[in-house]
Amino acid sequence: MTQSALSLSPERIERAAREIDPVFRNTPQFADDHLNAVLGREVVVKVETVNPIRSFKGRGADFFLRQLGRVPQVVCASAGNFGQGLAYAGRALGVDVHVFSAERANPDKVARMRSLGARVTLGGADFDEAKEAAREYAAGQADRVFVEDGHEPGIAEGAGSIAVELLGSSRESAPPDTVVVPLGNGALVAGVARWIREVAPATRVVAVCAAGAPSMELSWRAGEPVPTERVDTIADGIDVRVPVPAAVAWARELVDDVVLVDDDEMLAMVRVVRDTLGLLVEPAAASGLAAIRRHDIPGDRLATVLTGGNVSAQVLARLG
């Protein structure tokens, strides 16, 4: 049975903002004059790259494992950032982590997962084939718990702690008109949007997919999962081919619009972030800014999340 957005609890999101590992909490958020000049309006950026795994994924992984309790091993699929989050939290909480990644996964992310103590198995042409391998590996094994990013409410609620911090800074002033969020497996946008609907219902939530991986955008418009035959994008953080049904249902209930940006637009904004903020981010992390630059996103005061900074050699080569 597909989960409703009501399965995401504002009370647990607020608890996550207090209880997850402090290394992931209270990340920088600010508006930069130089970046605003490029974008033509005020944009608050929430920087999720300055922590031990260089991405927001530690929030949801940590909160999920704290709720799960003591288990021998968790098994997941990851392009790299979620696996790092589970590995970091698992090491701290005494849980073994086994990650399945595609053959073409970013080797730097794979190395970082292993350095954090995760066992990593490479196989499959893409993330979704790796996910099926992970599911099969865990099936029927009492000592293995399969964890699917985009399906577990606790992961989305942990990610939603970003919105608690983002809107908490604006309690004495008006909240953003629109928050623009990268959309991959869907936990981030679901958690963020659930909190926004609770405390600032007039604020719009716009999600962003890569044009070369449009399955979640197609699914949001159709109201049901719409897989694609392939993905073709440099943004490995949002290159979903087979949508998670729960994530589609959450997005349908909580998100006002979903837009697409292409690789060149994301890479252009990676350069802008580098040159204005002095930060090196992944293409997926810059997708929100790319959407603000390309699309007619409503509002004078916007916000977005810079989701990760584990930049591949391929991206570095294209940045020039």
pTM above 0.75, yes or no: yes
Question: Is 80 exceeded by the pLDDT of residue 172?
Answer: no
Angle in degrees, 0-180, between the axes of helices 57-68 and 10-19, rounded to the nearest 10: 100
The answer to whether 284 and 236 have CB atoms below 8 angstroms apart is yes
The two three-digit tokens of residue 313, written as one number:
């050699």
The mean of the pLDDT values for the chain is: 95
In percent, how much of the chain has pLDDT > 70?
Answer: 97
What is the secondary structure of 89-107 as a DSSP string?
HHHHHT-EEEEEE-TTS-H
Assign 182 to helix, strand or coil: strand
- Residue 187's alpha-carbon distances to 23, 75, 172, 254, 300, in angstroms, are 20, 17, 28, 12, 26
Is the domain covering 5-55+154-319 a CATH 3.10.580.10 domain? Answer: no
Mean pLDDT value of segment 124-136? 94
Structure confidence by residue, pLDDT tens digits, 53-62: 999 999 999 9
Q: Model confidence at 189, in pLDDT bands (50, 70, 90)?
A: very high
Mean pLDDT value of segment 110-132? 95
Structure confidence by residue, pLDDT tens digits, 243-275: 999 999 999 999 999 999 999 999 999 999 999
Question: Is 60 exceeded by the pLDDT of residue 227?
Answer: yes
Q: Model confidence at 2, in pLDDT bands (50, 70, 90)?
A: low
In this prediction, residue 70 carries a pLDDT of: 82
Question: Is 50 exceeded by the pLDDT of residue 1?
Answer: no
Fold of 57-152: Rossmann fold (3.40.50)
Question: Is 50 exceeded by the pLDDT of residue 47?
Answer: yes
Mean pLDDT value of segment 49-78? 95
Same fold, 5-55+154-319 and 57-152: yes
Residue ranges per structural domain of the chain: 5-55+154-319, 57-152
Q: Identify which has the larger pLDDT, 253 or 5.
A: 253
